[in-house]
Amino acid sequence: MPFSQPVHARIPKNTRGRSAVRVLAVALSLSAAFMPVSASADGVTLKVFGGSSLDVLAPRETPEVQTKIRDEIIAGFLKEHPEVSAVEWDAQGPQSGSLQRMMTAKLSGQEMDLIACSAYWVNGAYVRRGLLRPITDEIQPFAGNIDPASLGAFDVNGKVYGVPITSLSTSTIFYNVDLFKKLGIPTPPTYADLKSAVPKLQEAGVIPLLHQGSNSVMWPMWYFETFSQASGDPVGVTQAQLESKEGFDNAASVEAFRLIKQWVDDGILSKDSLSVDMEGMRAAFASGKSAMYYGGTWEVPSLKENVKGFSWGVFPFPKMDGTPGDAKHGGGADNGMCLSASIPEEKVKPALDFVAYLTKPEVAKIYLDAEQPIATSIKGVDGVDEQYAKDLRATAFPNTIKFLDWIWPSEVTTAVASGIAGVVGGTATPEEAAQSVQATFKSLVDEGNWPPKD
């Protein structure tokens, strides 16, 4: 759930993991979302700018809860820092328009001290367009409050541009626990275990694994998994590809497509997935017609609401035989706080003080606990005490890397999705799929549309 279309339930990629109802509710709360909280008439005023209405604290909560949380936190900060008289938080609009709103604000000279933003935009556009100030060294005094792995979502070419203040997402396989026990399928299963289980599942009249394949923006998640194993260094190799030092049709890329095809050839991933949408995938699993599906942690609310007849659990996308890289899963920290490249020097220290304040465990609990997270970016703020969450924290989260479509141009994301659909459907070979992605990227370069310009 790359940024593409659901938040990885793909409501859209940019809202990955957040319900459409919440998104709409937040959008309707704009008037309250950026009102200042003042302490006195004198002193520094910090301007927090967000490209969309989701760039707020507790973005999954209702507008009323968001306002209460924001006011409580800002009031606490102002009390500790009397040199700051107010914090004004301006976040509005759809996430798809975040870049346009940011560029408009920059070109108009709008004052922006802090940027509340998603990791997707930090990686995909904000850094490349010079909108953010690197803060690698400046965060060291409070870096101990932050989960080190979650910082990776805001690390671009070895420099940290943002501090994650969010719940964490990861990708996993959801499975029917009762059915696996009944058929004697080991958990967590190896790839060989899943392949061996196919005849048992088919004899029981159950589809082994169904994917929401008609929702094309969800296909790249599979590629994130297989490319990690095929390349050994997915983010590093991707950066090399974006710099044209390697092609998107290199051996690792071809192998990534081939490994996805292997899931189909071995009977685990149903080819029927090509005609199934998100609701169909969820309904098939909830009714017991499919034994597994692959997705992100944004799926948990739906599972809790709809799966009633059996117990469900999670296990990580398995290591495939003969691959040089470790199993890594797409995800990470969604939201963070950055410093604007245009921040006046006299405001840098109070801005960093505000970021540091947000990472205090006792403060972070205020805006994170309300969302009942599975895991968080702040040490000392624990996730929910449920078995699936414990399993994810033990297996998937330690091996989670940023979604590659946070780095890719959108045209590459579309080409990868199309390539996977072709490979799964048998209309394209892995080589042809990779060559198509490379051709798409080369066109961007040849036409002067890559690398992006300020």
CA pair distance 150, 18, nearest whole angstrom = 19
Q: What is the DSSP string of 195-225?
A: HHHHHHHHHTT-EEE---TTSGGGTHHHHHH
CATH 2.70.150.10 matches 6-168+332-400: no
Q: What is the pLDDT of residues 50-99, one digit of tens each?
A: 999 999 999 888 889 999 999 999 999 999 999 999 999 999 999 788 99
Find the mean pLDDT for residues 262-271: 98
**How far apart are alpha carbons 380 and 370 in whole angstroms?**
15
- pLDDT of 452 reads 74
Residue identified by tokens 């937040």 is 26
Of 453, 404, 371, nearest to 3 by C-alpha is: 404
Asked if 66 contacts 26 with a C-beta cutoff of 8 angstroms, the reply is: yes
According to DSSP H, which parts of 327-386 are helical? 345-358, 361-368
Integer Cα distance of 196 and 311 in angstroms: 22
Q: Assess whether pLDDT exceeds 50 at residue 330.
A: yes
**Selection from 120-124, 396-400, 403-407, 434-438 with the highest mean pLDDT:** 434-438
* Burial class, 88, CB count within 10 angstroms (exposed 0-12 / middle 13-18 / buried 19+): middle
CA distance 156 to 168: 19
Domain with CATH 3.40.190.10 in the chain: 6-168+332-400, 171-330+409-446
Average pLDDT over all residues of the chain: 90
Residues in the chain: 454
pLDDT tier at 453, thresholds 50, 70, 90: low
The residue among 41, 132, 135, 57 whose CA lies nearest residue 89 is 57
Cα(64)–Cα(438) distance, integer angstroms: 47
In this prediction the pTM is 0.84
Domain spanning 171-330+409-446, CATH class: alpha beta
- Residue 375, pLDDT above cutoff 80: yes
Using DSSP's 3-state secondary structure scheme, residue 400 falls into strand
Q: What does 280-313 look like in DSSP terms, one character per residue?
A: HHHHHHHTTSEEEEEEEGGGHHHHHHH--SS-EE
| Residue 33, helix vs strand vs coil | helix
